[in-house]
Structure 1
C-alpha cells in the first residue's frame, strides 16, 4: 500500500499537476488507505498550518515587494549602485549585483528581484557591450539573493516549521548573502577585464550625490525594517506591515510613481501569489503531519544513522539530495516536507538548525536556477524573450559558483552563525 502511495506521488508529479495538488492528493490517499484516522483531520490540519502569526508576514512581504516592483524604488537603487562603482572595470555588472542585494533587502522574493532589477539592467548591460548570455545569466542568478538577504519569505517558513527564531535566521543569512554577492562581483569583474567590456568611467560626485538623495528613501527601508527587528522594536510580522506602509508612502508621496488606481491591481496580484504559496504550505504541512504520525522521521533517522556515520557525509548527502529534488519539484515544498524528517539527524550530528536553514536557502536558490522547474529561469525567459534552454545555459557558470558557495557555507558554519551568535544572546 505504501508503494502505491509513492507511485501516486511520482505519477502526479510527472503529470505536471500543480505541486500543491500533488501533495494534497497524496496526503488524502495516505491517510485514507494507511490509517484509521477520519478524513476530517485534513481540513483541520490545512487550517492549523496557516493559522500562525509568523506566517502573516509572508503575504505582507509579498505585497511590499509588488509595490516596489511596480514603483520606482528599484530604479533609484540601481542608479545609486551604478554611480558607486562606475569607476571600476565592469562597473555596470557590479552595480547589477549590488542592486539585486539592495532590492533583496527590501523585497524578500527572488522572482520579484529578477523582475524589478533584471527588467532594467539586462538591456542596460547589453547596450554597454556585455554579451546577452552573460547579462541574462548574471541577473537571473543575482536575483536569487532575494531569498538569502533578509527579509526572506522561505526563511520565515523554515523558521516556522523548525521552531527556530525568525530573527536569528534573518541574521544568519546576511553574511552568506554578501559572500555569494562577492563571488558574483569577482566573476563579473574578471569576465569584464578578460573580454574588454565596460571601460571604467570617472565618478561624478555631484551625480552620485543626486542619486543618493533620490535613493535614500529606498535605502532606508532595510535599515528601518531590519533595524526594528534586531533592535526589538517590532516582530518580523509587524516589520512586514511596516514595510508595506513605508513602501506605499515612498511610491505615493515621495516618488509619486503610483496612484491609488494602481493599488487594486497590485493587491490582486499579491493575493494570488500569497494564496498559491500558502496553499502549498498548508498541503505540505498536512503531509508532514501524516509522516510524523507514522513515525517516519524516526525511522528515516534510524536508517540514515546506520548508513551515514559522519556529519561531513550527512551534509554532503543532504545537499546532493536537495539539488536533485530541485531539478523537478518545488524545493520550498521539499523543505517543508523533509526538514522535520531530518531534524533527528541534525540533533545527532549537532548541526545548528539555524545553520541548516541557511544551507536550505542556498539549495532553494540553486533550485530557482535549475531546469526544468527553476522559477527564475521562467521569469528571465519572459523578460528577455529567450528560450528556457538559452537562459539555462546562460545561468550555468553562476550555478557552479552557487554550488561552490553551498559547499563553503555547509562546511564553515561560522559564516552563518557568527552574526546571530554575536547579536542574539
Structure 2
C-alpha cells in the first residue's frame, strides 16, 4: 500500500505541466486524432500551463511577503496560522486513503458520463487532492476507510455538478468554449457566491454600482487599462505593507505583468485545447447524438481575467482586516492569501466583471471561510501532527482558508461528525 501511495505521490509531484499534457494526448488519441496532432495539442497545453504557473508564482511570491508585511506593520496577533493549500495537500497525501482516490475518482467520473449525470470529463487529476483531503478528514474522524472514500466521492460528485452548472458562465464570460472547472477550492465559493451576487444585483442603489474593467478603461482612458490597474493595485499593496519606494515599484510592476501575461497564457492553452475539444464533439455526436461533453480543467484558466486579479488584490488587505475585526475569528490569513483569485473566480464571473459587487460578495464568503477555518482548526492541527507535518515555528494551531474554510468540505465533515 505504501508503495502505491509513493507512486501516486511521485506522479502527482510532476504537476499539471506534465500530467495534463499526458491526459490531453491520451484523450486526443481516444477521440480519433492522429498521434502527431494529439501530441502537439498536449505539448501546447503543457507549455501554456508552464506559463500560467510561472505567472501564478510571480503573483504568490509578491503577495506573500506583502501580506506578511501588513500583518507585521499593524501588529496583528492571532492564534491559528493559515498554512495554505500546499500544507493541506501534503497532509491529504499522507493519508492511507490517498491511494484509492484517483482510480476511484476516475471511475466515478466515467460512470457519471455514461449515465448522463454529468457533462464534465475532469482531466484535472492533480486537483483530485481536494477530494483526498475530504476523505482524509473523515477517515481521521471515523477510522473507517469506507466512510472516508464515500466522503471523497461525495465531494467529487458535488464538484462535477457545480462544474456543469457554471459551465455556461465559463464559456460566455471567460470565453472558454467546451471548458468547465471542478477545482474544489473554487467551486466551493460558487454555492453561496453566485446566489449572493444575484441578490446584490436586485438591491436598489447597490445594483447601479459598477466598476468592471471596460467601464474603468472608458472612464480613465489609458490609466484604466489592465496593465495600469495592476501597477496601481500592486503599488497600493506595497504601501500598505510599508515597503520602501523601490519595493513599491517592484510589486507594482509584478502585478502589471500578471495582468498582461496571464490572459496571453490562457490563449495559448485554448490553442492546444480546441483541436481536442472539436475531436471530442465529433466522436460523441457520432455515438451519442448531439450531446455536450465539457473538458474539466484547473481553475487557473479563469484567474487571468483583469476583473479577477483586480478583485483579488483589493481583497488581500480586506481579508487581513476582516481577520482582525471579526469577533470569534482566530485565523491569521497568510498561506492562502495568494489563492484569493481562485476563491473569487466564479463570483466575478457571476457579477460579469463588476469589481464592486465581487468585492462585497467576496468579503462575505471570505468572512464565513475564516469562521469555518477557525472552527475546524483543532482537527486540522491533529491531522497535521498525525501526518508528521512540520508545524510553523510558534504556531499552536494551524488551518487553511482553502480547505479548513471550504464550505463543501466543512458541511460534509459536520454531517459525518454528527453520525459518528
TM-score by length of structure 2 reads 0.30
Counting helix residues as a fraction of each chain, which structure ranks higher? Answer: 1
Counting strand residues as a fraction of each chain, which structure ranks higher? Answer: 2
